[in-house]
Amino acid sequence: MPEAPAAQEVDGPAAKAGAVALVGRPNAGKSTLLNRVLGEKLAIVSDKPQTTRHRLVGILSEPERGQMVFYDTPGLHRPLHKLNQQMMRAAREAIEACDVLCLIVDSSQAHGAGDAFALDLVAQADAERVLALNKIDLVAKPRLLPEIARYAARGIFTEIVPVSAATGDGVDRLLEVLWRLLPAGEPLYDPELLTVHPERFLAAERIREKVLAATRHELPFTTAVLVERWEESDELVKIHAAILVERDSQKKIVVGHGGAQIKAIGTAARLDLEEQLGKRVYLDLHVRTEPRWRERDSTLAELNRELDAELPARARDEA
């Protein structure tokens, strides 16, 4: 299980502890923000919608301040498949379990029906609510003021903070707001941990990131990665994984002419995994056609078997 860099024990009567759910529409920048505040790449990042499919737990422990547990959630959308229903369930569970709800909004995009859906969902939450207007590096400053005023008029946010997860602008101020709103308490997890997810799950995500980068059109929605075998020694990790697709025509795209595409995916993933794991990696990839896997309970359960990360009870309920 990955450990946080330079994590330290937290002590003192003023120590805070609680959970912050990062929610928002697909591609709002939730995962980029998570990686920014942790100072480590935990969540995979892509320009494809619905990159995040699970509730990802990231842990920030700071001396004298406490522990902030982040829930990076799937983008809020109206589900069409069992996979999407599972994604929305993960987002709702995080909203119900958090102490502070942080809505991430892409300020470079026009406000639409999806934003209204997200706002209505956030308005129903019991937790403290904060709005992070993201991607301000892509927006002229005069355009931000009307956006801030429009969201402030809803009267549901304790704070509205303009940020750029990509550049880091405004992120320190956002963290100050989140720390202030967290309840006092003991750490929810060992302060040495960066996450609670096992390396097999994180490795599958890294591989899927490379698939997303290499494919276009409908393929990102219809692919998944399943680690079938994991063998580890002191110096080498052998990973055997399957890339799932729904049709043979998609399999041909992932494999590529003469196997060039899957070889490129494998090379990129292996280099990334060696950096993540700190060991040499032997990666064996193959493509498996699983018709309608997004609707199949057995396949979804198989994909989720390594995820098991229970949400702790809300800190405010334990106080």
Using one digit for the tens of pLDDT, what is the confidence trace for 254-269? 999 999 999 999 999 9
pTM, entire model: 0.89
Dist CA 159 CA 161 (whole Å): 6
Contact 210, 254 (CB under 8 A): no
Domain 199-304 has CATH 3.30.300.20: yes
- Find the range with the poorest average confidence among 83-97, 115-129, 254-268, 293-307: 293-307
Residue range 23-65, pLDDT digits in tens:
999 999 999 999 999 999 999 999 887 789 989 999 999 988 9
Higher model confidence: residue 123 or residue 319?
123
pLDDT given at position 291: 95
pLDDT given at position 135: 97
Higher model confidence: residue 192 or residue 48?
192
The gap between the terminal CA atoms of the chain, to the nearest Å, is 28
- 3-state SS string for the chain: CCECCCCCCCCCCCCEEEEEEEEECCCCCHHHHHHHHHCCCCCCCCCCCCCCCCCEEEEEEECCCEEEEEEECCCCCCCCCHHHHHHHHHHHHHHHHCCEEEEEEECCCCCCHHHHHHHHHHHCCCCEEEEEEECHHHCCHHHHHHHHHHHHCCCCCCEEEECCCCCCCCHHHHHHHHHHHCCECCCCCCCCECCCCCHHHHHHHHHHHHHHHHCCCCHHHHCEEEEEEEEECCCEEEEEEEEEECCHHHHHHHHCHHHHHHHHHHHHHHHHHHHHHCCEEEEEEEEEECCCHHHCHHHHHHHHCCCCCCCCCCHHHHC
Average pLDDT for residues 195-212, to the nearest whole number?
A: 94
The residue extents of the domains of the chain are: 16-194, 199-304
Contact 200, 238 (CB under 8 A): no
pLDDT given at position 219: 78
The overall average pLDDT reported for the chain is 90
Contact 54, 92 (CB under 8 A): no
Residue range 95-113, pLDDT digits in tens:
999 999 999 999 999 888 8
Dist CA 100 CA 309 (whole Å): 19
Average pLDDT for residues 113-131, to the nearest whole number?
A: 93
pLDDT given at position 306: 65
**Confidence band (pLDDT; 50, 70, 90) for 2?**
low
Average pLDDT for residues 156-166, to the nearest whole number?
A: 97
Any idea which fold 16-194 has?
Answer: Rossmann fold (3.40.50)
Q: Is the pLDDT of residue 86 over 70?
A: yes
Dist CA 201 CA 193 (whole Å): 16
